[in-house]
Structures are given as C-alpha cells and as structure tokens.
Amino acid sequence: MRLSGRTCQAKAFARWSETSARLWKGRQQNVRKLIRRAAKLADDFAKWRAKQGTMQCDDCKFDPATRPDLAGIKPRSCLDVHHKNPLAEGKRLTTRADLALLCPTCHRIKHLRLRQSGG
Ligand SMILES: [Zn+2]
Ligand SMILES: [Zn+2]
C-alpha cells in the first residue's frame, strides 16, 4: 500500500499531538501539585506562627490583633505567607526559614523589589 506524503504528515502530527497532550497534562498536574503543596506549607507556617504568638508582619510589625476594627476577623486573613525561595524554582525542601509572614503592603513591596532585581 502506498502512503501519500499527506497521510504520513497526518500520522506524524497525530503522534506528536498525542505526545504533547500527554506532556501538557503531566505539566498541569505538576503545577496543581505545586500549588497544593505551597498552600499547605503556607497554612502550616501560619498555624505555627499563631501558636508562637507572632501573628504579625515580619517587616513593619503590623499586628492585626492590635486593631480594634479587626475584631472578629482572623489575623490570618490580614497576613500573607511569602516564600523567600519560590517553590517553582526547583527547591524541594522548604523550611520555616524560607518563609516570612507579611502584611499585604509589605508583601507587595517585597515582590516589586524582587521584580526590580530581576527575581
Ligand atoms: Zn508589613
Ligand atoms: Zn511572596
């Protein structure tokens, strides 16, 4: 049987798209896994800080507990967990020393500075 060039191309394309679909799915699963892992780490860190009684911004020392207008609002909702070494950069082990608790403003400044320095 004679295969025309077109059929061969179609078959090659089908093989290629099958492979890339598999790779893409794997990558998406990895990204989802990383996001889940990051969220879990951030939560554990915030819980640990709460237990230590240090639920305040590491940079400006903003402490939600001292604001009367925040009564009834969980301090955790007013603070972000910042990863000093982004997980996506291939670092497998994240320790507490890699994390910081920041108020949203200090967190934004941190990332603006990181971007400035090409990070
Ligand atoms: Zn702050
Ligand atoms: Zn951050």
Q: Ligand 2 mean position to 69 CA, how many Å?
A: 26
CA of 111 to the centre of ligand 2 (A): 6
At 108 the pLDDT is 97
Number of H helices, E strands in the chain: 2, 2
Task: Write down the pLDDT at residue 9.
Answer: 73
**What's the gap in Å between 11 CA and the centre of ligand 2?**
46
Ligand 2 centroid to 42 CA: how many Å?
A: 11
What is the rounded CA–CA span in Å between residue 61 and residue 106? Answer: 10
Global pTM reads 0.74
pLDDT tens by residue, the chain, 119 residues = 555 566 677 787 788 888 888 899 998 988 888 888 888 999 999 999 999 999 999 999 999 999 999 999 999 999 999 998 765 555 667 888 999 999 999 999 999 998 898 75
Alpha-carbon distances, residue 13 vs 19, 20, 26, 66, 68 (angstroms): 10, 10, 20, 63, 64
Of the listed ligands, the closest to the CA of 119 is 2
**pLDDT of the residue at 4:** 59
**Nearest-ligand number for the alpha carbon of 58:** 1
